[in-house]
Amino acid sequence: MTILHIDIETIPSQLEWVKQDIMDTIKPPATIKKQESIDKWMKDKSATAANDKWLKTSFNGAVGEIICIAWAFDDEPVQVIGRELFETESDMLTGFMNHLDMVSTSERGIKKEITWCGHYITGFDLRFLWQRMVVNNVKMLVEIPYNAKPWSQSVFDTCHEWKGDNSGYGSLDMAAKILGIEQEKTMSGADVWPEIQAGNYEKVFDYCKQDVEICRQVYNRIK
C-alpha cells in the first residue's frame, strides 16, 4: 500500500459570469423589511456582501479553482505543482495526473493501491480536486476517491482520525501544536488569495508543501 500525502490551495472563481451572477442575486438580510432600508442596504452594502460571497467560491469546486497541489508518496520529498493566474488550471491538473499515473504504475504495468492522506480531505480536497478534473475535462488516469467516507480504506483523513466527532482543536495547525510538531508558517489559508493577488506564488506553493509535511508528521504520530 502506497500512502499519498496531499494538500491543495484554492482561489475564488475567475469566471466573470460567476461574479455577475452573485451581484445580480445578492439580497439584504431577511430581517430588513422596509423598502427604504432595503434600498439603503443595496446602495451601501451590496457590493461588499457580493464580494464576500465571491471570496467563498474558493470553497466550491464547481466554480472555484486550484492554484497549486502539493504531495508526497510515503517518505519521499514533498513536491508541488502550481500555476500563475495567466496559466491554465487544466495544464496543471494534467501534469499532476500524469505524474500520479507514472508513479503508481509498476514496471509490470500494474496499478499500485494508493491511500490518499490529508487533513479533512474527505470533506474538501478530494471532491474539489475531482470536480476541477471534470470541469477541465482532464482524464483521470488514477481514481480520485472523492466520495470516500473518512473510514474508507482508500483514504486516511487525519482530521477525522484525530478528533472524530468532537468539536474544537481539529485544525491541522492545532493538532500539530498539541502533538509538539514544529511549524514555521508565515501565512494561513486566509492569506492565499491576497498573496496570489500580490504575485507571491512561491510563498503560497511553499505553504502548501509545509502543510503536506506537517500532515505527514501527524499521520506518522497517529499510526
Per-residue pLDDT tens over the stretch 128-156: 999 999 999 999 999 999 999 999 999 99
Q: Confirm if 81 and 92 have CB atoms less than 8 A apart.
A: yes
Q: CA of 60: how far to CAs of 43, 124, 197, in Å?
A: 28, 9, 19
Burial of 209 (0-12, 13-18, 19+ CB in 10 A): buried
Q: Report the C-alpha dihedral over residues 11, 17, 19, 24, rounded to 10 degrees.
A: -160
Residue-range definition of the domain harbouring residue 69: 2-222
Q: Confirm if 70 and 212 have CB atoms less than 8 A apart.
A: yes
Q: What pTM does this model have?
A: 0.93
Which amino acid is it at 183? Q
Q: Determine the Cα–Cα distance for residues 207 and 212; give it in Å rounded to an integer.
A: 9
Count Cβ atoms below 10 Å from residue 140 Cβ, excluding itself: 15
Please compute the mean of the pLDDT values over residues 94-119 and round it to a whole number.
88
Q: pLDDT over 70 for what percent of the chain?
A: 98
Per-residue pLDDT tens over the stretch 159-190: 999 988 776 778 999 999 999 998 887 888 89
Angle, nearest 10°, between helix axes 46-55 and 35-44?
60
> Does 117 score more than 90 pLDDT?
yes
Q: pLDDT over 90 for what percent of the chain?
A: 78
Please compute the mean of the pLDDT values over residues 195-218 and round it to a whole number.
97
- Given this model, what pLDDT does residue 34 score? 87
Question: What average pLDDT is seen over the chain?
Answer: 93
Q: How confident is the model at residue 107 (pLDDT cuts 50, 70, 90)?
A: low
Q: Please name the helix (run of DSSP H) or strand (run of DSSP E) that holds residue 197, with its range, or none.
A: helix 192-197
CATH of residue 130's domain is 3.30.420.10
Q: Rounded to 5 degrees, what are φ and ψ at 63?
A: -130, -25
- Given this model, what pLDDT does residue 7 score? 98
Per-residue pLDDT tens over the stretch 74-84: 999 999 999 99
Q: How many domains does the chain have?
A: 1
